[in-house]
Amino acid sequence: MRRWLAALLLISTLGFAEKTFVVAYQGGAVTLDPHMRNETTTLAWQHHLFETPFFFNRDGKVVPVLAEKIELVDENTWKLHLKKGIKFHDGSEMTAEDVAFSILRAATHKKSQMKGYVGKISETQVLDRYTVLIKTKVPDPLLPAHLDHAAIIPKAYLEKVGEEGFNKHPIGTGPYKFVSWLNGDHLNLEAFDGYWGKKPAFTKVKLVNIPNGATRVAALLSGEVQIAEKVLPQDFPRVERSGVARVEQTPGVRVIYVALDYWREYGSEGLPKGAKNPFLDPKARKAIYMAIDEDAIVKRIMGGAATVAPQFLAPIHEGYNPKIKRFPYDPKAARKILEDLGYGDTDGDGWLELPTKDGNRVPFALRVDAPNDRYLNDAQIAQALANMLRKIGIKASVNAVPKKVFFPNMTKGHFTMYMAGWGSMDSINTLLSMFHSKDPSGLYGRFNREHYKNPEVDRLIEEAAKTFDKAKREELLKKAMYIAMVEDVAYIPLHYENVIAGVRKGIRFTPRPDEYLHAFEAEKE
Amino acid sequence: MRYFTVRFLQMIFAIWAVATLVFLFLQLTGDPMELLAPEDMSEAQVAELRHAYGLDRPLHIRYLIYMENLLKGDLGISWTSGEPALKLLAERFPATLKLVLTALGIAIVLGLPAGVWAAMRSDTWVDRSLRFFSVLGISAPTFWIGIMLILIFSVTLGWLPSAGAESWRHYILPGLTLSFYRIALFLRMIRSTMLDVLSQDYVRTARAKGLPERIVVYKHALRNALIPFVTLVGLQFGQLMAGAVVTEWIFAWPGMNRLALNALFTEDRPVILAFVVLTAVIFAAVNFVVDLLYGWIDPRVRYA
């Protein structure tokens, strides 16, 4: 009886032979309207259907996709030349009408989430069948790169079926066309015969959302899926030992960093009541930096699934400065720096001390804030940081909370030291948001929660943001980064999270640094 | 008739209360734009988005609009996907329903006879081993059972799929995972009520009349033990419809619990609210059906 049952199950397994190429994600796309949700998995799924004028390649370079080239007419005007003969999935040709319409929609639709990229665009004009004029409100030297978030959709089709109809059956120019989907769960695709570019290796593709890491790995090992993203470090040995799959890693652009209160002399919320905040002085910040054994974090906590970061930007970013190296790990020197600054242990209890406003001294206690559900092993990293700080005499404790609580609290300034991550392909955006001093209009320093401020750095960033010459811009960014990272120790970089995928035997695939997982980048071996 | 009117009004009140409470509680979680708006949008652009979702209006106005729409059966538009929340839930409702029915089916088919068996053989090795199993079933966490089943049947044996809901084979592992606790629960419940009923006078009378043991057990005893059992099954149904979160999560089940969990993670309040209102309606409806079933099983209820 039992044998029969087993045989029956086995036969039905065979009947289910692998024809469809299945890729498992940790999440799923929540919309197939390419301008409404700016989130990695949603965009990654959409990239199979839609393309943009320009896109980043794996080396972080901006390359033309639907565009032939782009010309700068004046500071606020660009002329976009399109490739000819590109077809939408319904067979109609993509023209300047579609492109002018789509870019403006991404820039101005009231629910568009792409405004962080193309929100500076005020107007688009059709010059001829293959040329579009783009006008911006303010100069944007990075406009070509920003067009990577302006997916091109067929104007006539959208106007015919409406937004609801478009969501039901989206049409783009991408290598795959839409077959069916369940919002947030799976998307069935079929290779588009009329695709202008390189034909993808697999005809039928299914993208699925398998949220639980252990299930994702199980599905990979049992052959239900061919690629599974975000395999957890603890599962690496199981995958490698299985003989049917392997782990592929690429250093990503997401940096995990530590921020320290840069603005309150007293009343910093992660220190004992009334204690002076030592971190207004870059020397004290450097001491914390030197107390952190990042090699150990990468090796022991991240299981090798991360790459030590010497600075805030990643090597493929514009403005990455190879001259910036990590300060050496040296706990003795770190403690010495703090002692020399007057925070030494005077009562002999082993803990460093902080002066208070009323002239007393209290033990140097420090709360390390971190999320516990946002980054790979985030709570464990925070714990390791606290342990390392305790070794140099700082009475550190950890407050790891869900991201929903963490981020609003950090934004409100309820911290002295926190750990978080930052990932963006756009260096100018990174520097404007994280390194430029806060301004009341909210235009600059939006995520500069620690209130880092250096007028020279502000000037360099602003200058870079309006410099059209790439080489000059890069120099300005490098200079700003040097001052911020080395002289001011604005943040303490920890590591870049690696982008990880489990891949079945017989398939050639490596993840992209920008975390977008595309089935059309997989090949048969 | 009057009884039904009162019950119906109570039901409406309960749904209103739940909707209002959840609406207010969600306000306590702070500004939804923190999670909803992409990091790379400027403050002004976030303000535009906030306006587009009507979040710049005062709380009482938003509440009134919400209630007005609720009366019209409009549960709002999902903030993350731009689609009607009810449509998203409706797409996923059948998958959850089928999974819950599968699990309850397995639990009833295995738990009920096992419970009767254990009661009839009370304090024998049969009873003791069934009780041991039921302790295991009640205390083993769903998460652990799910992962173990996947490791055994998907990875090691390669017999059954671990994720998705495409064929009947996909129902087996999540169905078993979800039923494990219920088998144990039903077993214990039937066993103890059966033991109770079997010691009643009317059972002794039935035996004294010389009725075969089979008739005594199934017609006289079990019928009476079924009343609390039906209540329990009904409650379990309602609980599973809104509580199969872990199982749906582990097996990547395309059900509405996973959708609601995701909505919580992304602050998609319209979807959270729609889910809560929908489950409140399901609970109320199930209670209603259970009341009707009482009458069918126990004629006394019909005349009361």
| Contact criterion met (CB below 8 Å) for A435 and A447 | no
DSSP assignment letter at A246: E
pLDDT of residue B44: 81
Band of the pLDDT at A13, cuts 50, 70, 90? very low
pLDDT-based confidence at residue B304 (cuts at 50, 70, 90)? very low
Q: What is the mean pLDDT of residues B188-209?
A: 84
What integer pLDDT is reported at residue B155 of this predicted model? 87
ipTM of the shown complex: 0.84
B147 and A214 within 8 Å at the Cβ level: the answer is: yes
Rounded to an integer, what distance in angstroms lies between the CA atom of residue A259 and that of residue B178?
44
Would you place residue A334 in the very low, low, confident or very high pLDDT band (cuts 50, 70, 90)?
Answer: very high
Q: Which of B81, B147, B252 has the CB atom closest to A211's CB atom?
A: B252
Average pLDDT over residues A295-315: 94
Question: Mind telling me how many Å the CA of A173 is from chain B's nearest CA?
Answer: 22
Best of A404, A431, A504 to disrupt the B interface (most B CBs within 10 Å) is A404
Task: Compute the average pLDDT of residues A72-87.
Answer: 96
Q: What is the mean pLDDT of residues A183-197?
A: 96
| CA–CA dist A400, A419 (Å, integer) | 10
What residue in A sits closest to B87 (Cα-Cα)? A183
**Which of A309 and B122 is assigned the larger pLDDT?**
A309
Q: What is the pLDDT of residues A198-221, one digit of tens each?
A: 999 999 999 999 999 999 999 999
Q: How far is B46 from chain A (nearest CA, A)?
A: 9
Nearest CA in chain B to A422: B39
The DSSP-derived string for chain B is: -HHHHHHHHHHHHHHHHHHHHHHHHHHHT--THHHHS-TTS-HHHHHHHHHHTTTTS-HHHHHHHHHHHHHTT---B-TTT-SBHHHHHHHHHHHHHHHHHHHHHHHHHHHHHHHHHHHHTTTSHHHHHHHHHHHHHHHS-HHHHHHHHIIIIIIIS--S--S--SSTHHHHHHHHHHHHHHHHHHHHHHHHHHHHHHTSHHHHHHHHTT--HHHIIIIIIHHHHHHHHHHHHHHHHHHHHTT-HHHHHHTT--SHHHHHHHHHHHT-HHHHHHHHHHHHHHHHHHHHHHHHHHHHH-HHHHH-
Chain B residues lying within 8 Å of A208, measured CB to CB:
163-164, 252
Choose, out of B36, B42, B156, the residue to mutate when testing the contact with A (most A CBs < 10 Å). B42
Percent of chain B with pLDDT over 90: 29
Residue A416: is its pLDDT beyond 80? yes
Contact flag B38-A39 (C-beta cutoff 8 Å): yes
The whole-number pLDDT of residue B300 equals: 67
State the smallest CA–CA distance between residue B154 and chain A in angstroms: 6
Average pLDDT over residues A33-41: 93
pLDDT at A7 over 80: no
Taking the CA of residue B37 as centre, how many other CA atoms within 13 Å lie in the half-sphere pointing to its CB?
26
A97 close to A90: Cβ distance less than 8 angstroms: no
Does residue A107 contact residue A121 with C-beta atoms inside 8 Å? yes
Confidence of residue A16 (pLDDT cuts 50, 70, 90): very low
Positive or negative, the CA dihedral A158, A159, A163, A169 is negative
Confidence label for B74 from pLDDT (cuts 50, 70 and 90): confident
Q: What is the pLDDT of residue B30?
A: 73
At B280, the pLDDT band (50, 70, 90 cuts) reads: confident
Higher pLDDT, A284 or B238: A284
Query: Which residue has 């259907």 as its token pair?
Result: A49
- Is residue A328 scored above 80 in pLDDT? yes
Beta bridge pairs of residue A22 = A206
pLDDT for A315: 94
CA distance B233 to B115: 14
Residue A11: what pLDDT? 47
Q: Which of B48, B155, B160 sits opposite A9 (nearest CB)?
A: B160
CB contact under 8 A, A38 and B81: no
| Cα→Cα distances A511→A87, A148, A384, Å | 28, 19, 28
Contacts of A424 in chain B (CB under 8 A): 39-40
* Chain A positions in Cβ-Cβ contact with residue B51 (cut-off 8 Å): 110
Confidence class of residue A442 from pLDDT cuts 50, 70 and 90? low
Of the partner residues B162, B259, B267, the one whose CB lies closest to the CB of residue A218: B162
Token representation of residue A402? 């869900």
Element containing residue A7 per DSSP (H, E):
helix A2-15
Coil, helix or strand at residue A27: coil
Kindly determine whether residue B83 and residue A183, on different chains, have CB atoms separated by under 8 Å. yes
pLDDT for res B302: 57
B244-274 pLDDT, tens digit per residue, is 999 999 999 999 999 999 998 888 889 999 9
According to the model, what pLDDT value does residue A285 have?
97
Q: Which residue in B37, B43, B251 is closest to A215 by CB distance?
A: B251
Name the closest residue on chain A to residue B161, using Cα atoms: A224
Tokens of B245: 């979160």
| Gyration radius of chain B over CA positions | 24
In the prediction, which pLDDT does A3 show? Answer: 54
